[in-house]
Amino acid sequence: MLNEVETKSSKKANKLFHYPNKENKRQVILCHTSRPILYYKNSLRYRLDGEYTKIPHYIIDKKGIVIENFSQEYYSDFMGNEDIDRQSVIICLENLGWLKFNQLNNKYMNWIGDIYKGEVYQKRWRDHSFWSNYPDKQLKACAELIVKICDELEIPINLVGHNVKVDNALKFEGVLTRSNYNEYWTDLSPSFNFEKLKTYIDEKKKTK
């Protein structure tokens, strides 16, 4: 059950953009922020003078706190494809994504210079080698939210279970990542533990 802090966060974020018509949902799409949570939230609210339209339904920070930006029955321009956006619920995880190593100061940083101090995962994938991690609390919160969304919207809890491109992703019913749609997006990254997510989802389903 989402806690009181998360509920308050949801109410606070309700003024962000979404289209007014409700849609039937077939997918949950996982992605990440590529920025620290504070900067990402501010970019959603103030980018393009407050007219930014690529808004995820939910954000989960590294501590596992869930923020609801707007109701999951609606949609925004998040994926940039109306067919995908209409049928999807977007969960965006706080994560810096791919990292680069600065030899001058021996620090890892993301694409705009945000310094990363956490655990670094190393694997060559889509032209990058270093990745920030997804904390366990975040994975557990993500699993709980997936079960909640799929139960409420009658979406099958089918997981693609990897982050590479999937043929006919648009027709898939269940849980995907943004990187399942094409070979250019890098979220979710190789550091995401799909086996743990599945385990936490199964555990949550047993307690319902």
Q: What is the pTM of this model?
A: 0.91
pLDDT above 90: percentage of residues in the chain: 83
pLDDT of amino acid 13: 45
C-alpha 186/C-alpha 182 separation (Å) is: 9
**Best CA proximity match to 10, nearest among 46, 77, 58, 81:** 58
Question: What token pair was written down for 141?
Answer: 């919160």
pLDDT band at 69 (very low <50, low <70, confident <90, very high): very high
Helical residues (DSSP H) of 154-193, grouped into ranges: none
Question: What token pair was written down for 152?
Answer: 């409420």
C-alpha 45/C-alpha 34 separation (Å) is: 16
**CB distance 123 to 66 below 8 Å:** no
Listed in sequence order, the residues at least 6 apart from 49 whose beta carbon sits closer than 8 Å to its beta carbon are none
Average pLDDT for 11-36: 87
Tell me the β-bridge partners of 36: none
Q: What pLDDT, in 10s, does the model give residues 156-201?
A: 999 999 999 999 999 999 999 999 999 999 999 999 999 999 999 9
Give the number of C-alpha atoms closer than 13 A to the C-alpha of residue 52, restricted to the C-beta side. Answer: 17
pLDDT of amino acid 142: 98
DSSP 165: -
Q: What domains does the chain contain, in order, with CATH numbers?
A: 4-207 (3.40.80.10)
pLDDT of amino acid 104: 86
